Amino acid sequence: MRSRRIAVLALTGVLALSACSPDEPPPMHPAPGASGGGDPYFPDDGNGGYDALDYHVDVGYDPASGRLDGDTTVTAKATQDLSSFNLDLRGLDVASVDVDGQPARFTREKQHELVVTPSGPLRAGSTFKTRVRYSGVPAKTPHEGGPENGWAKTEDGGAYLVGEPHSASFWYPVNETPRDKATFSVTAHVPEGWTVLSNGREQGNTTKDGKTTTTWTEPNPIASYLTTIAIDKFTVKRSALPDGTPIVSAYAPGAEAREATGDRLPEVIAFLESKFGPYPQSAAGGIYLDEDIHFSLETQTRPTYAKWAEILTVVHENAHQWFGDSVSLNSWSDICLNECFASYAQWLWGEREGQNLDDRYRAAIEITRGSTDFWAQKLVDMGQEHLFQGVYDKGILAMHALRRELGEPAFATLLHDWVTQHRGANGTWAEFEKLVSRVAGRDLSGFLADWFKGTKLPADRNLYPGALRP
């Protein structure tokens, strides 16, 4: 009996040993990460195989020559065993790539793929740091995405960057998809006399040997197209929201007269908080350019404004700090989750100023009723070539109709719950539809389909819901 017992114990001991031996990790099956992030409209954007956690971008910029010297470290977690992986970078010459301090091989492919092969495979679940050193004159005009995405120079020699969906890859290597949000910081070196603005909180600046170094940190996850940098001889104004959140607003030469608009930011944010809940960002402010660009952009914590921007633009871009920035889309086909909400915020601001939104809505319906083109615009799943169409006008009417269909308490709950449930993360249209029906306490998929996915004037019962019913 005894010997047999010992034999059994010995056997189980051997089995246990082989199951959890610390010096024999499970075998790896390394494969290249995908070269696209999976967005149906922009399949090549972003990459697969890892989750970017943090970017630290160190750049020197010389306004006289337009040259940028970059040294970016991307901290990421492998989501598969990786033999190689991609970052997105447009133009610029790459001098070296290191992974965890070891030199890595790299190639450039297609328009923006930087393919990195580390000295050894990376295990799924491991965190790794990729350091890329690069330089050159950043590109202004991309091959895709419109002429105003990319690095742009101002007449007085400054530079700025805004672009949706592409902009980050013009100045640092990035997983360029809003599906992969990460924390972000910038340390920038410019000649003395120039000022650098970016996202988040200012960490002070120092000047030595004719160079000024400034660091900005954004502790909340940020989608890459919402990162920015602006270099100019700015007039900078600093203040704070009532809770202490720092406000930094910068006015480019020629834009100083816009300070009166910029100074209203606390009033705008307080109003938006009354509708959407607490301001979700680490900092606030604005970058007021003197540039005649066609759009302003909700760059996180600190929107970038074209010269024509006025108070309603400030309302719109700051509404995005909840809708688009804190809660980011997962697919570009869901752009209404950003733009329908931010555009409706402009109507909410009008209501605050005494406008009757039901009258405004009825008048807009009468004006557009006969326009098949207007009603043909889909607000969701519109197709890549129709991205950004309809969401700024038909989208406002859809939001007002939804508000009347739900009634005031449920509409307020909808806005609050959406930004609370997805804060600092992503949300999809399908999730939004589910939330609408939940707060309504009934299935509203027919109403939502008619308004947001329909291609003609909604049925009368959906066009005039609730208090809008004549």
Q: Closest by alpha carbon to 164, among 346, 42, 308, 255?
A: 42
Are 110 and 57 spatial neighbours (Cβ–Cβ below 8 Å)? no
Q: How far is the CB of 314 from Zn ion (least distance, A)?
A: 12
Are 349 and 447 spatial neighbours (Cβ–Cβ below 8 Å)? no
Q: How far is the CB of 297 from Zn ion (least distance, A)?
A: 8
Decide whether 290 or 339 has the Cβ nearer to Zn ion.
339
Decide whether 130 or 426 has the Cβ nearer to Zn ion.
426
Stretch that binds Zn ion, among 14-22, 48-56, 333-341, 427-435 (CB under 5 A): 333-341
Q: Which two three-digit tokens encode residue 297?
A: 């952009």
C-alpha span between 231 and 292 (Å, rounded): 17
Q: How many residues does the chain have?
A: 470
Nearest residue to Zn ion, scored by beta-carbon proximity = 342
Q: According to the binding rule CB under 5 A, does residue 327 interact with Zn ion?
A: no
Q: Closest by alpha carbon to 289, among 142, 148, 174?
A: 148
Type of residue at 205: N
Query: What is the side-by-side order of every strand in the sheet holding 246-251?
Result: 235-240, 246-251, 284-288, 304-305
With CB under 5 A as the contact rule, the residue among 342, 380, 399, 440 that binds Zn ion is: 342
Decide whether 215 or 343 has the Cβ nearer to Zn ion.
343
Type of residue at 194: W
Burial of 260: CB neighbours in 10 Å, binned 0-12, 13-18, 19+? exposed
C-alpha span between 100 and 82 (Å, rounded): 14
Q: How far is the CB of 327 from Zn ion (least distance, A)?
A: 14
At 410, which helix (H) or strand (E)?
helix 408-421
Q: How far apart are the first and last CA of the chain?
A: 92
Q: According to the binding rule CB under 5 A, does residue 297 interact with Zn ion?
A: no
Q: How far is the CB of 338 from Zn ion (least distance, A)?
A: 6
Burial of 114: CB neighbours in 10 Å, binned 0-12, 13-18, 19+? buried
Decide whether 229 or 396 has the Cβ nearer to Zn ion.
396
Residues 6+ apart with CB under 8 A from 379: 336, 340, 390, 391, 394, 395, 398, 451, 452, 453
Q: How far is the CB of 331 from Zn ion (least distance, A)?
A: 17
Decide whether 232 or 339 has the Cβ nearer to Zn ion.
339
Q: How far is the CB of 316 from Zn ion (least distance, A)?
A: 6
Decide whether 115 or 337 has the Cβ nearer to Zn ion.
337
Q: Which two three-digit tokens encode residue 245?
A: 């959140």
Residues 6+ apart with CB under 8 A from 44: 35, 36, 110, 111, 112, 113
Stretch that binds Zn ion, among 10-18, 130-138, 142-150, 331-339 (CB under 5 A): 331-339
Q: How far is the CB of 387 from Zn ion (least distance, A)?
A: 12
Site size for Zn ion (CB under 5 A): 2
Stretch that binds Zn ion, among 150-158, 201-209, 336-344, 350-358 (CB under 5 A): 336-344
Decide whether 182 or 342 has the Cβ nearer to Zn ion.
342
C-alpha span between 233 and 252 (Å, rounded): 6
Stretch that binds Zn ion, among 250-258, 307-315, 338-346, 453-461 (CB under 5 A): 338-346
Decide whether 312 or 376 has the Cβ nearer to Zn ion.
312
Q: How far is the CB of 99 from Zn ion (least distance, A)?
A: 37
Decide whether 313 or 330 has the Cβ nearer to Zn ion.
313
Q: How far is the CB of 77 from Zn ion (least distance, A)?
A: 31
Stretch that binds Zn ion, among 70-78, 153-161, 341-349, 376-384 (CB under 5 A): 341-349
Q: Which residues bind Zn ion (CB under 5 A)?
A: 339, 342
